[in-house]
Amino acid sequence: MMVSKQELEARLENFKKVSRQYKLPLTPQKLAIFRILAGSCSHPGVQELYKQVKEDFPNISLATVYKNLKKFVDLGVITEIPVPGESPRYDAKLDTHSHAVDTASGRVYDLEVSAALPLPNKVLGKSVKQAQVIYYL
């Protein structure tokens, strides 16, 4: 499955907007990393992103990928998906949804949170910033 052109554009716009908001320079490397993530449904990890962005920026450093992913998470423009027994994967889809982890293949799928599965917005007296429902298949 592919991300639609409109959705991709929306994600890129949001990324740029937030970057401006925090007065962070928009470098070609950042844009490339974000674009790959935003255009993918496969929830790549660091190594995979590094390999892909290398096609456009052969000299890019792995450290740059690490630094930027961390920054993106801080900025809230991407989400880190922890996968048991593996290194984390990343997702540029921002609306609340769940993930299904196929334990056989290691693949991670997006799932819509069904209306039948309402998430509380307060837990332990604190407000829920984010919720992840992960299904292991």
In 3D, which of 41, 127, 131, 137 has the Cα closest to residue 90? Answer: 41
Closest alpha carbon to 73 in 88, 63, 53, 57: 88
Closer of 56 and 113 to DNA (Cβ): 56
* Interface characters, 15-54, with its own copies (x: CB under 8 A): ----------------------------------------
Q: What are the φ and ψ backbone dihedral angles of 110, each rounded to 5 degrees?
A: -85, 140
Taking the C-alpha atoms of residue 126 and residue 59, their distance in angstroms, rounded to an integer, is: 44
Q: Does residue 131 bind its own copies (CB under 8 A)?
A: yes
- How many residues in the shown chain lie near DNA by CB under 7 A? 24
CB 90 within 8 A of CB 69: yes
Verify binding: residue 103, DNA, rule CB under 7 A: no
Residue 135 touches its own copies, criterion: CB under 8 A? yes
Give CA–CA dist 34/36, Å, rounded. Answer: 5
- Rounded to a whole number of angstroms, the minimum distance from the CB of residue 102 to DNA is 19
Chain residues binding its own copies by CB under 8 A are: 73, 80-85, 88, 100, 102-103, 109, 111, 114, 116-120, 123-124, 126-137
